[in-house]
Copies of this chain bind each other. A is one copy, B any other.
Amino acid sequence: MADAEEVSNKQVIFRDYVSGFPKESDMYMTTSTISLKVPEGSKAVVVKNLYLSCDPYMRPRMSYTTDSYIHSFKPGSVISGYGVAKVLDSGHPNFSKGDLVWGFTGWEEYTLITAPESLFKIPNNDVPLSYYIGILGMPGITAYAGFYEICSPKKGEYVYVSAASGAVGQLVGQFAKLIGCYVVGSAGSKEKVDLLKNKFGFDEAFNYKEEQDLVACLKRYFPEGIDIYFENVGGPMLDAVLANMRVQGRIAACGMISQYNLDKPVGVYNLMNIIKKQIKMQGFVAGSYFHLYPKFLEMILPHVKEGKVVYVEDIAEGLESAPQALIGLFSGRNVGKQVVLVARE
């Protein structure tokens, strides 16, 4: 092997399993080396990472678990997650040097991806590359599958979205408006509430941190009750929603970020409403809907190009900023989709 082709590679390493609230020090930076050529005969690709995605589902991966749809991070190893990257060398017939791709990669400058079949090629168009870890990537498919496939929305229905300014929530709200629903979102700051109302076109929005009684609060915003709840937070908010659902309501359970840092989750008490109101509550993960990606792109791209669907990102500059950016998700520091810019194309 040609040592001359090895370059230094900054990496974000996962230190050890976390309980409670994660800290920046649960990750550390290191520098190793990597060959920019794929091993002889392998079907791998070597990529240069451009954008990395910080997503709430990464928190459960920081704890030891064997029963989830995704593996825990490995202590002492590089963090993995969604990213946008450029192919530097390819042993795989589907990919060529220079291709832009999105998919699972490492939190490092360069990554050897040994099973590149799961990567998506990014077509040559004029949308920002970072969108492929947001509106045009996993969060986009998540919003699309959860709202359209699980909730079967109808014009005029009452829709509530929690964590509504986040990577997924901001899209759900805009999808709901596209088909003529009434949509209310909640978030954790005045700035976010303003975004919901003024940028994303939610009919109403509120700061959940200012509400003492969530059941009464939702009753104010939904005097007729909620047909569709897009669940991103769990815990007491889910309980309050259950008490406000309408008959034959639907809950797409996408995430429960309020519970991820607790040693023991909080209890939910209002589940009898699931029977009384004939509610469907369905959990889902984007990975089960990737087959819909072409259909989703066909639907979303015209809206994005015409500015009918907008997307707000919170971009942290530099791989070194990645740990802080990830941790920030759990205190709601990010405004919009949290992205880490590693390198420009």
Partner-B contacts on A (CB < 8 A): 60, 67-69, 234, 238, 247, 253-256, 259, 264-285, 288
Interchain CB contact under 8 A, B247 and A275:
no
> Top 4 closest A-B pairs, CB basis?
A267-B267, A274-B283, A275-B283, A280-B282
Given the interface pairs A69-B247, A247-B69, the reply to whether A278 lies near B285 with Cβ below 8 Å is yes
Given the interface pairs A278-B284, A284-B278, the reply to whether A272 lies near B247 with Cβ below 8 Å is no
27 residue pairs bridging A and B, Cβ less than 8 Å apart:
A60-B276, A67-B276, A68-B276, A69-B278, A234-B271, A253-B275, A254-B275, A255-B275, A256-B275, A265-B272, A266-B269, A267-B268, A267-B269, A274-B281, A274-B282, A274-B283, A275-B283, A275-B284, A277-B283, A278-B282, A278-B283, A278-B284, A278-B285, A278-B288, A279-B282, A279-B283, A281-B282
| Complex Cα gap A266–B266 (Å) | 11
Q: Which residues of B contact A278 (CB under 8 A)?
A: 69, 282-285, 288
Given contacts A69-B278, A266-B269, 4 further A-B contacts (CB under 8 A): A67-B276, A238-B271, A267-B267, A281-B282
Interchain CB contact under 8 A, A259 and B274:
no
Q: Which residues of B contact A281 (CB under 8 A)?
A: 274, 280-282
Interface-central residue, A254, A264, A265, A288, by most chain B CB under 10 Å: A265
| Complex Cα gap A284–B283 (Å) | 18
Interchain CB contact under 8 A, A269 and B265:
yes
Min CB gap A252→B, angstroms: 10
